[in-house]
Amino acid sequence: MLASHSDPATTISELTTSSIVAAALASALRDGRAGSPAEALRVDPARAAVLETLPGGAEGVLDALWRERQPRGNNLVSLLNQAAAAGAGATETWSDLSDDVLVAQGRSSVLMARVLLSRIGPAYGFLEPGSRARVLDVGTGIGAIASALAESLPRVEVTGIDIADRPLEIARERLTAAPGEVSARIHYRRQDVTELDELKRYDVVWMPLPFLPDGIVDQAVTRVTAALRPAGLLVLGTQPDVEDRRAAAAGAWLASLTGGGTLTASEVVRRLSRRGFEDVRRFETVPGGPILVGALAPS
The model's pLDDT over 73-120, given as tens digits with 9 standing for 90+, comes to 877 887 787 788 778 776 556 556 677 777 777 777 888 999 999 999
Q: Residue 256 has what pLDDT?
A: 72
Beta strand 291-296 with 133-138 is unpaired
Q: Residue 81 has what pLDDT?
A: 79
Longest dimension (CA), the chain: 61
Helix axes 69-87, 245-258, angle to 10 degrees: 80
CB 1 within 8 A of CB 18: no
Q: How many angstroms separate the CA atoms of 230 and 201, rounded?
A: 10
Span 140-168, mean pLDDT? 95
> Lowest-pLDDT range, 2-6, 114-118, 183-187, 242-246?
2-6
3-state SS assignment for residue 208: strand
CB 147 within 8 A of CB 175: yes
**For residue 263, which amino acid is it?**
L
Give the Å distances, CA to CA, from 239 to 117, 172, 216, 292: 20, 29, 16, 9
Q: Could you tell me which of 183, 160, 180, 176 has the C-alpha nearest to residue 109?
A: 160
**For residue 140, which amino acid is it?**
T
Q: Residue 91 has what pLDDT?
A: 59
Q: Residue 5 has what pLDDT?
A: 53
Q: Residue 3 has what pLDDT?
A: 54
- CA torsion angle 209 275 240 25 (round to 10): -40
Q: Residue 284 has what pLDDT?
A: 92
Q: Could you tell me which of 81, 69, 110, 62 has the C-alpha nearest to residue 23?
A: 81
3-state SS assignment for residue 196: coil
Which range scores top for mean pLDDT: 240-244, 262-266, 272-276?
272-276
With 70 as the cut, is the pLDDT of residue 10 above it? yes
3-state SS assignment for residue 192: coil
Q: Residue 128 has what pLDDT?
A: 92
Q: How many angstroms separate the CA atoms of 297 and 299, rounded?
A: 6
Write out pLDDT tens, residues 26-77: 999 999 999 999 999 999 999 999 999 998 889 999 998 898 788 788 778 8
Q: How many angstroms separate the CA atoms of 109 and 103, rounded?
A: 10
Q: Residue 56 has what pLDDT?
A: 84
Span 163-178, mean pLDDT? 93
Q: Say which residue, 62 or 8, is predicted with more confidence.
A: 62
Span 270-291, mean pLDDT? 92
Write out pLDDT tens, residues 172-231: 999 999 889 999 999 999 999 999 999 999 999 999 999 899 999 999 999 999 999 999
Q: Could you tell me which of 269, 222, 280 has the C-alpha nearest to residue 241?
A: 269
Q: Give the strands of the sheet with 133-138, arranged side by side.
A: 186-190, 156-162, 133-138, 202-208, 228-238, 291-296, 278-284
CB 186 within 8 A of CB 160: yes
User: What number of residues does the chain have?
Assistant: 299
How many other CB atoms are found less than 10 A from the CB of residue 249?
Answer: 11
Which residues are registered as beta bridge partners of 233? 204, 296
CB 73 within 8 A of CB 26: yes
Q: Residue 4 has what pLDDT?
A: 54
Q: What is the pTM of this model?
A: 0.77
How many other CB atoms are found less than 10 A from the CB of residue 279?
Answer: 11
Q: Could you tell me which of 298, 231, 239, 285 has the C-alpha nearest to residue 109?
A: 285
Q: Residue 96 has what pLDDT?
A: 62
Q: How many angstroms separate the CA atoms of 88 and 108, rounded?
A: 24
CB 62 within 8 A of CB 41: yes
